[in-house]
Chain A
Amino acid sequence: DAGITQSPRYKITETGRQVTLMCHQTWSHSYMFWYRQDLGHGLRLIYYSAAADITDKGEVPDGYVVSRSKTENFPLTLESATRSQTSVYFCASAMVETDTQYFGPGTRLTVL
């Protein structure tokens, strides 16, 4: 099916482990985004990408790494997971930066 998908949907890991969250979109959108959503906060931007091989930091980038070798994929890596990174992570995409953003189903990550 066309759209934007994320995997895994649920992940439990331990402090200090490396974790990679995957995001894939089939719309050929130029822009892709990673957000985290925590109770009591609005969505917070972690990283975004304007095109393949172009990425930039958002509001809360510390502890996260991204790459974008292909237009359709935008993986997010937690290099050494901490409990404060327990959250729901959403990937989104948009045709251009001013366009409506469309969200994937989310990954619920728990760091023990």
Chain B
Amino acid sequence: GQNIDQPTEMTATEGAIVQINCTYQTSGFNGLFWYQQHAGEAPTFLSYNVLDGLEEKGRFSSFLSRSKGYSYLLLKELQMKDSASYLCAVMDSNYQLIWGAGTKLIIKP
């Protein structure tokens, strides 16, 4: 079966750095997406990786290793507004997104 694993919850301190990991086993691979979802709101797109390596976008970076079935989202200079759930999703061979259950990130002052 297809599976996306990510930690259920993480806690970090304002101003610090946090890394959210995602491992996957899917039928084929056509890219990996990270979304941010604030409580009670819709998921919003953060990043996309299809080739191995690091993609940097401001305070957020996303890394992919296809051989290891692994990705991480790195958030720097954490702000209180970064408190949210972070969703990892892999596009499989049928071009459908398979979603992880999400990681709830709690930022403490």
Contact = CB atoms under 8 A, between A and B. Distances in A.
Contacts of A48: 96
Interface residues of A, number: 19
B72 interface: no
Interface residues of B, number: 21
Contacts of A59: 96
Contacts of A70: none
A102 interface: yes
A45 B97 contact: yes
A44 B99 contact: yes
Contacts, number: 43
A74 interface: no
A55 B98 CA distance: 19
Nearest to A108: B40
Nearest to B4: A42
A98 B31 contact: yes
Give the one of B41, B42, B48, B91 with max A CB within 10 A. Answer: B42
A106 B41 CA distance: 7
Nearest to B3: A42
A84 interface: no
What are the nearest 3 A-B pairs in CB distance?
A42-B99, A103-B42, A43-B99
Interface of A: 40-45, 48, 58-59, 90, 97-98, 100-106
13 contacts: A40-B101, A42-B89, A43-B89, A44-B99, A58-B96, A98-B91, A98-B95, A100-B33, A101-B33, A101-B97, A103-B44, A105-B41, A106-B42
